[in-house]
Amino acid sequence: MVDEFCVFVASSHGNILKKVLHRFKYISDVCLAEALSGLLARRLRSIGLDFDSGEIIIVPIPLHVRRERDRGFNQSEVLAKLVVRDIRGRVMNLLERSRETEPQARLSRSERMVNVKGAFRMREDFHGEMPPRDASTKAPTTVFVLDDVITTGSTFRECAKVLKEAGVERVYGIMLAHGL
């Protein structure tokens, strides 16, 4: 649990997972995404929640435009797109970074919370496997925010807060690992 939000972690394989994630994110070894997304999909299937729409909505944690350009991809979005191939669901890019932040991995717990405070907002033109949002389209009822690692929960908490303020009733987290 992160505050009043429930977070599901897919794996606890410590050092092995840490090395695989590092290769995936920083060496751009995207072929590792298949195995990593399989862990996430298995964890989602194991939860057995009752979804109003009958499908799982996955919201990847957004990177700042500059960081995504430098890295060449958003690891959370890559994983989300692969996960929905294995489960009945869709990816919805509901969030965007409203400002650039320092990488969380370099910061202490208290610095992490300050670093991401107010760093996210709802996209006016969210996109995914559905038409662009218009006045008749409301926020989904239930979403899973997907990220690779959760340590303090600061990033997830900020994203969840924005989604709840936009009308999402239930926000869960689905992460590959905790505190690597």
Task: Give per-residue pLDDT as tens, 118-143.
Answer: 999 999 876 544 444 454 457 788 89
The answer to whether residue 1 sits within a structural domain is: no
The answer to whether residue 30 sits within a structural domain is: yes
The answer to whether residue 22 sits within a structural domain is: yes
pLDDT of residue 180: 53
Burial of 18 (0-12, 13-18, 19+ CB in 10 A): middle
Compare 97 and 1 and report the one with higher pLDDT.
97
CA distance 176 to 94: 20
Angle formed at CA 30 by CA 88 and CA 66, multiple of 5 degrees? 100
The answer to whether residue 101 sits within a structural domain is: yes
Of 95, 99, 113, the C-alpha closest to 165 is 95
CA distance 150 to 2: 10
Supply the range of the domain harboring residue 162. 6-178
* Single pTM value for the model: 0.85
CATH assignment at residue 24: 3.40.50
132, 98 contact by CB (below 8 A): no
pLDDT of residue 133: 46
Count the domains in the chain: 1
The answer to whether residue 25 sits within a structural domain is: yes
pLDDT range class, residue 60, cuts 50, 70, 90:
very high
